[in-house]
Amino acid sequence: MKRVLSRALGCLSLRGGTFTVRLPPQATRIPAKIQVGINMSVQFGHPAVDIVLLGAGGNVNDVLDIVDALAAAGRSVRVRGILDDYREQGAKHLGLPVLGSLSAARSIPDVLFVSTIRNESMHRSHPELVAKLGLDRTRFTSLVHPVAHVSPRAAIAHGVYVCAGASVAGGVVLHDHCSVGPNATVGHDTQVNAFAVIAASAVISGGVQVEQGCYVGSGASVKQGIRLGRGSLVGLGAVVVRDVDDEAVVVGNPARPLRRNAKGLEQMTGRGMTEPASKFKGRGA
């Protein structure tokens, strides 16, 4: 089909010529704003892409691993620097210059962005942080590690990254700004909604609905066909066998929700396990 595809998924720029996109069978069920990104990633040929990372946390390492692997495979992608609200401009993080605060994103032309603000303590606020930038969604690129497996029948939107060893099955839709960690598995026909995080070695079975801003911790397992609520957190190694409510925190095997008692402590429902709330903060990374 002849058309101009201007940075579809932020990774591809074609002007004129012919380019064929093979849509997966489930494409009619995918929102139109996702369809433009189907199966287009840095796996395709493209001119050199400069990237600026948003946030200077630990997830920068995951993105740099993807970029390094892509460069080794002959892809022309490079990271120009980092924007972060808590580091001084001109400082270095992992050898990359800090270019300014997050608000500086609008003043940097001719680059694409990847947000690395994807930890268990900020998964609910991530959508607001990105919205404040005022950037069009096409300014965000998606990155897939060369040794990740993404089915040709899966769809990837903007601002997504998929790490080494991850497996994304057919019929999966990865919506804007979600991520799939190293060695994680996303089963067939699962919807991973915007800003959701699937951490390292987590296993999401088929037909799961992962709602916006959900965080699935490392090593967690999720039964097929259930719903993980908006802004919910599935703790490290949890085994989820039933639906999780919006903004709930579930831990254990089988996973049970935590609740706050009168002393401000987190308590596992039905198990009598009580620990300070601060002790649970940071789990699931």
What is the pLDDT, as a whole number, of residue 24?
A: 41
**Which pLDDT belongs to residue 254?**
96
Predicted pLDDT at 88: 92
Instruction: Report residue 80: phi and psi, to 5°.
Output: -80, -35
Mean pLDDT by 10 residues, the chain (285 residues): 32 27 39 40 56 94 95 91 94 94 94 92 89 94 96 97 98 97 98 97 98 97 97 97 96 88 48 35 35
Give all domains of the chain, ordered by start, each with its CATH number.
49-139 (3.40.50.20), 143-280 (2.160.10.10)
- Can you give the pLDDT at residue 193? 97
In this prediction, residue 266 carries a pLDDT of 52
By residue count, the chain amounts to: 285
pLDDT of the residue at 85? 94
280, containing H or E segment:
helix 277-280
Q: What is the pLDDT of residue 27?
A: 40
DSSP per-residue letters across 13-76: EE-SS-------GGGGGS-HHHHTTTT-STTS--S-EEEEEE--STHHHHHHHHHHHHHHTT--
pTM for this entry: 0.78
Rounded Cα distance, 104 and 96, in Å:
16
